[in-house]
Amino acid sequence: MTERLYYQDATRCEFEADVLRCEPAAGGVRVYLDQTAFYPGTGGQTADTGTLAGQPVIEVGEDDAGDIYHLLAHPPAATRVRGLVDADRRFDHMQQHTGQHILSEAFVRLYQLGTVGFHMSQDVSTIDLATDRLDDRQVAEALRLANAVVWEDRPVDISYHDAAETGALGLRKPTRREGEVRVIGVADFDRSACGGTHVARTGQVGVITVVRTERFGDKTRVYFLCGGRALRAFQDNQAILSALSAMATTGIPELPAKLDKLLQTVKAVERENGKLRAELQAERAPALREQHRGADGISRVILTLDEPADIARSLCQKLIAGDHRTLAAVLSAPSGTVFVGRTSDLTADMQALVTELRAAFGAKGGGRPDFAQLGGLSRETAAALLDQIGSRYRSCSG
Ligand SMILES: [Zn+2]
């Protein structure tokens, strides 16, 4: 088995090791060493990156036997190799992982909420709490306690125990491991069985913050950032807020009220605009009727509007108001809805027309004998349907 150097010293990012064996694998060769500082990416913590024997380490993982392999593109030329772990990334993982221990214990101390899952990605880390109810006040209280522990700069120690003895240690979560168990202790606060990399004192976590929570099933997922990640998120968010504040010509604290006012204004303007467009279309009705009047005295108005359905509907209703011997069909192109109607001095059955065309064009719809509609049409079927209605109207004598 490979000796795990990070077990005793998480800050060690340079090491030398003997190559024990190499095994061909997908994407290159798995290199096994007598010792390594590379963390293999288990227990929720992301794997390290870096170089080994001058080559980028493509992947570090544990094989089926629980031993650490390093995937390289080519076998190393020498049997003694030098490894370099990406130190910034490693420290970031130490901050997130230690912060997780502290945050998880804070939820236990305040609300008896156990952590049932932990996941670290390159952007954000999550813990899953065994509850379907977690409110903002509880999150704020847990953060207050967790950050107090961070700022007290308590020592974080590593100890080893026989699995049989761990019952007396007061672990946050009982371990299922056998044999020797590695325990991470945050002084007078938390004890957890863990194989990951942690900082030596809680002050190095810097700060712990929660960005959001999400309920799934009977659990709640808490998304959190520690240390450098929290600082970067603050700077990114500050830049966004500053840009919004400049656009809205107001201070950051006044932004919510200003944006709310702006959105209400936009909605009112949109409502007014819709009303005016509908009135504009309706005013065209008398002229349209005369323009499309045939030799038999019947006006057949067939139109496509680039307007929403309610405007097409109101124009169609305007066209068939009064005794003007008119057949109308108005398509709202954006919504794929066509409205058909006739004036009360004609007898053509619009309901029957719609029922017949509905099946042929795979549309939905219905209506009354004098006014009906068909919807759910694509641009192509809508045009073909309008053609079909046109030919029906032409052969219709009223
Ligand atoms: Zn840990």
Tell me the residue range of the domain where 8 lies: 3-85
Please give the distance, rounded to the nearest whole angstrom, from the Cα atom of residue 38 to the centre of ligand 1. Answer: 15
Element holding 226 (H helix, E strand):
strand 219-226
Is the pLDDT at 397 greater than 90? The verdict is no
97, part of any domain: yes
How many residues are present in the chain?
398
pLDDT computed for residue 14 by the predictor: 98
User: Is 272 among the domain residues?
Assistant: no
pLDDT, residue 168, reads 87
Please give the distance, rounded to the nearest whole angstrom, from the Cα atom of residue 103 to the centre of ligand 1: 12
138 and 151 fall within a common domain: yes
Chain segment 140-184, per-residue pLDDT in tens: 999 999 999 999 999 999 999 999 888 888 899 988 888 999 999
Same domain, 46 and 168: no
Lowest-pLDDT choice from 30-34, 225-229, 361-365: 361-365
Ligand 1 center from residue 29 Cα (angstroms): 29
Distance (angstroms) between ligand 1 centre and the Cα of 169 equals 16
Structure tokens at 391: 């030919």
| Cβ atoms of residues 355 and 309 within 8 Å | no
Q: Cα(16) to centroid of ligand 1, in Å?
A: 25
**For residue 260, is it within any domain?**
no
- CATH code of 175's domain: 3.30.980.10
Domain match, 366 and 233 both: no
Specify whether 95 is located in the same domain as 232.
yes
Domain count, the chain: 3
Q: Stretch 242-246: mean pLDDT, rounded?
A: 96
Dist CA 336 CA 308 (whole Å): 9
| C-alpha–C-alpha distance, residues 158 and 192, integer Å | 10
Residue 190's DSSP bridge partners are: 186
Last residue of a domain, which of 203, 223, 239?
239
Would residue 311 count as lying in a domain? yes
Judgement on whether residues 135 and 69 belong to the same structural domain of the protein: no
> CA nearest 110: which of 149, 141, 152, 151?
141
* Cα 183 to averaged position of ligand 1 atoms, centre (Å): 9
- In the listed set 21, 51, 85, which residue is the last one of a domain according to the structure? 85
Same domain, 76 and 98: no
Q: In the predicted model, is pLDDT for residue 214 greater than 80?
A: yes
Centre of ligand 1 from the C-alpha of residue 96, in Å? 9
pLDDT for the residue numbered 72: 97
Nearest to 132 by CA among 216, 234, 10: 216
DSSP string for residues in 171-213: -SS-----SEEEEEEETTTEEEE--S---SBGGGG--EEEEEE
- For 25, half-sphere exposure in the C-beta direction (CA atoms, 13 angstrom radius) is 20
